[in-house]
């Protein structure tokens, strides 16, 4: 335990001693996008569109099958800049249209076998939570987006809202280190800021895809870390590195996504 604390202390001191305006300081103050997988951790295969076989509203007269795949972007959390790789997040399911007074409401129905309709892959972050690499890879982390509730999907505007938590995992942090929780989530409200042209999906698959749809959010807050290290003993270290808790206005997400959809009646129920 003493060796672990010494290692963490050295890593944090190294990050603090760097000049933020220098090239080295910039690397220590953010999660670098270079050398993904150089530590020996395998790079996850990008998630892809896999058709409408699991669409939960297939065959209905009134509804839409939808899949959103994030193709890349950048997430800023407090003092961290986190690159989002191609195909690291997918939202899939269907949308029912429910009468709500004088209007209609989009109600998302998740694909079976997914986590609230959300599928994600871990992102290996060189330098990890403490800004340094070590020969034993003790400080490298994998960050994974985990949904903690059902998303809201607006098909017409291609807007998406998701309550999530961010899981941070390595040999020191353990398997229960999170930013956000089911009761205090990171709520991402991804608003589409463009209107790309649609094109047929093709390959014998019905429906259309809106490629490279831009999504942004600058309103979300990120809670303090929980469950990091034995009995939460490393929460302080993660908070120091990440600048958490981080209120709204200090965080941002920009991404491009491919948005697939098709009228439910065009898809045969499986």
Per-residue pLDDT of 221-256, as tens digits, reads 999 999 999 999 999 999 988 899 999 999 999 999
Instruction: State what percent of residues in the chain have pLDDT above 70.
Output: 79
Sign of CA dihedral 10, 15, 18, 22: positive
Which phi and psi (to 5°) does residue 68 adopt? -120, 125
Per-residue pLDDT of 22-50, as tens digits, reads 333 333 322 233 333 334 455 678 999 99
Instruction: Return the pLDDT at 136.
Output: 57
Which contacts qualify for 2-9: CB closer than 8 Å, 24 or more apart? 4/172, 7/134, 7/138, 7/139, 8/130, 8/172, 8/234, 8/237
Number of domain units in the chain: 1
Ranking 74-88, 115-129, 170-184, 193-207 by mean pLDDT, the lowest is 115-129
pTM: 0.80
Which residue range(s) make up the domain with 240?
2-266
């Amino acid at each position: 335990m003493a060796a672990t604390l010494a290692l963490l202390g050295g890593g944090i001191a190294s990050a603090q001693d760097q000049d933020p305006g220098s090239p080295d300081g910039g690397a220590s103050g953010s999660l670098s996008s270079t050398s993904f997988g150089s530590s020996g951790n395998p790079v996850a295969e990008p998630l892809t569109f896999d058709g409408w076989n699991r669409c939960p509203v297939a065959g209905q007269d009134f509804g839409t099958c939808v899949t959103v795949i994030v193709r890349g972007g950048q997430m800023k959390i407090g003092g961290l800049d986190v690159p989002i790789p191609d195909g690291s997040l997918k939202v899939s399911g269907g949308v029912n249209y429910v009468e709500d007074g004088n209007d209609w409401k989009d109600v998302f129905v998740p694909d079976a076998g997914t986590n609230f309709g959300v599928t994600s892959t871990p992102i290996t972050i060189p330098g990890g939570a403490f800004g340094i690499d070590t020969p034993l890879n003790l400080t490298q982390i994998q960050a994974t987006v985990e949904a903690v509730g059902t998303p809201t999907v607006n098909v017409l505007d291609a807007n998406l809202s998701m309550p999530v938590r961010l899981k941070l995992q390595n040999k020191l942090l353990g398997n229960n280190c999170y930013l956000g929780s089911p009761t205090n989530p990171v709520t991402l409200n991804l608003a589409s800021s463009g209107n790309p042209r649609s094109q047929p999906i093709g390959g014998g698959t019905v429906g259309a895809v809106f490629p490279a749809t831009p999504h942004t959010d600058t309103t979300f807050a990120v809670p303090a870390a929980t469950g990091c290290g034995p009995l939460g003993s490393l929460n302080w270290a993660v908070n120091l590195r990440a600048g958490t808790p981080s209120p709204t206005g200090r965080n941002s997400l920009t991404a491009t996504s491919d948005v697939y959809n098709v009228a439910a009646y065009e898809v045969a129920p499986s």
